[in-house]
Amino acid sequence: MNNVMEKKKAIISSSKASIVQDTALSCLGSFFAFLLVRWLSEPIYGFTLHFFIYMGCALAFTLLGQLLSGSFRNLSPGVSYWAGDRLLLTILIKEIGLAILMSVDKGGFTSHALIFLALAADALFSIAMILYIRSYVSRIREEDAAMKELSERLNALVAGDGEEAARFADEAKESGRYNLLGLISRDPEMDRKVIGEYLIYYVPDDKALEALEWQLGGIDCILFPKGNSGGGSESADGEPGGAPDAKPAPRGKMNAFGRFIKRSFDVVLSSVLLIVFLPLIILCSLAVLIEDGSPVIYSQERIGKGGRPFRILKFRSMRRDAEAMGVPRLYSGENDPRLTRVGKFIRQHHLDELPQLWNVLRGDMSFIGYRPERQFYIDRIMEKNPRYRYLYQIRPGVTSYATLYNGYTDTLEKMLTRLDLDLYYLRNHSVLFDLRVLGLTFLRIVGGKKF
């Protein structure tokens, strides 16, 4: 009964939130539409009075439309067909009301064409903003739910190195309560062997356990199958009785509102910069094409948020046969023999990364995050430090906190150092933190400092 009441309360709360959200966005659409028509028309006598009358009626008719259509009831889990259908009905009611208002008071507009333009722009702006924000809020809620589920699970190891321990680990994993990190054994010959899908770690003493805890990013509990007391802090049936001085796994700090601001900033800034830098993008394209032919854009698979692959875009700065042997090779600096003359210049001035503005606009990347890697190198990083998987909580970035202080990574050791800095960013990132990193990156590029 309590669960039913809690679910009903959540639905009511969601409806109230969607009323406020949709009403504000609808009025914002009316605001932009009125200003657009005002910009296209002759000066309006009594503009302030007409503006407040128009906005007040837009608010009233939006609320009336929501009440009659029930559009506020369909916000989650996404923008369904019926949600869109009811939203259109809400905006239609609003525009009919405003049309009636305009027939009585033209709002200072001098022609029927301007009135029609105002109503059409009002409807278009309102629908576009509401649908975009609804879909974005739905995605944020789904991410929050997934993150909450992840954070509520305990990072666990299972004591044992046999088939029984692997079966017990499967049962614990299926319960949904544990995030199984592997098995632990006191037998040195079992170190790094695999049983089922679980890697075995050799842990002879508390010091080794402490080192493993740091390596795995935190251990909340150790589970012991029945009949294996292990002398640890867990009961024989696997119920946690404590943690070995565990540290919590790194979790993203930014809340839903902060992520909305960050994503909105990415969309607006990437759109503006794509337009501003269009002449430079064309020049770079021509320079690469003239020196070494096509392709101008180099596309490569990287791993991004949620562990999903995407294609990162760059201006091609190396010869077309740079990896002809099929083996990934790290960039070794400005003296890398694979660089072309144009490639060396655009690398030095970070112009090769201009196409990544499209990755940011698409949502594959953010301006600030962690630098995405190929699966080939991620596998090697995770062999040394599996905490890399925690970075999948956020989008990778065009630049990063780690890049400022660690520079380009041309060795595995530098990659591991960068990972520590990336995890620090994950635990502490915020809108202000991102602005600070973006500002420092801009100053270093303008100052000609290499990183």
- Based on the domain organization, do 130 and 49 belong to the same domain? yes
Contact 200, 184 (CB under 8 A): yes
- Based on the domain organization, do 309 and 355 belong to the same domain? yes
- Based on the domain organization, do 369 and 261 belong to the same domain? yes
Residue 393 lies in a domain: yes
- Name the β-bridge partners of 183: 158, 200
* Residues in CB range of 230: below 8 A, 6 or more apart: 159, 222, 224
pLDDT at 314: 92
Q: How would DSSP label each residue in 369-414?
A: E-----HHHHHHHHHH-GGGGGGGGS--EEEEHHHHHH----SHHH
pLDDT at 5: 38
- Based on the domain organization, do 192 and 133 belong to the same domain? no
The strand pair at 198-202 and 194-195 is best described as antiparallel
pLDDT at 232: 38
Q: What is the CATH number of the domain that holds 186?
A: 3.40.50.720
- Based on the domain organization, do 95 and 53 belong to the same domain? yes
Domain count, the chain: 3
Phi, psi of 109 (to 5 degrees): -75, 140
pLDDT at 248: 47
- Based on the domain organization, do 219 and 170 belong to the same domain? yes
SS3 label, residue 178: strand
Contact 323, 233 (CB under 8 A): no
Where in the sequence is the domain holding 188, given as residue range(s)? 154-223
- Based on the domain organization, do 369 and 263 belong to the same domain? yes
- Based on the domain organization, do 166 and 263 belong to the same domain? no
Peptide bond into 295 cis (omega under 30): yes
Residue 237 lies in a domain: no
- Based on the domain organization, do 92 and 23 belong to the same domain? yes
pLDDT at 1: 37
Q: How far apart are CA 419 and CA 434, in angstroms?
A: 17
Per-residue pLDDT for the chain (451 aa), expressed as one digit of tens each? 344 334 433 333 356 667 788 888 889 988 988 888 878 777 767 778 888 888 999 999 998 988 888 766 654 444 444 456 778 888 899 989 888 887 777 655 667 788 888 889 999 998 888 888 877 777 776 766 666 665 566 778 999 888 888 989 888 888 878 888 899 999 999 888 888 888 899 999 888 887 887 777 667 788 888 755 443 334 333 443 333 333 445 556 677 778 888 988 999 999 999 999 999 999 999 999 998 888 899 898 999 988 889 999 999 888 776 665 555 666 655 667 777 888 888 888 888 889 999 999 998 999 999 999 999 889 888 888 777 888 888 899 999 988 888 777 778 888 888 888 888 888 888 888 899 999 888 888 777 666 5
Residue 298 lies in a domain: yes
DSSP letter for 326, please.
Answer: S
- Based on the domain organization, do 376 and 305 belong to the same domain? yes
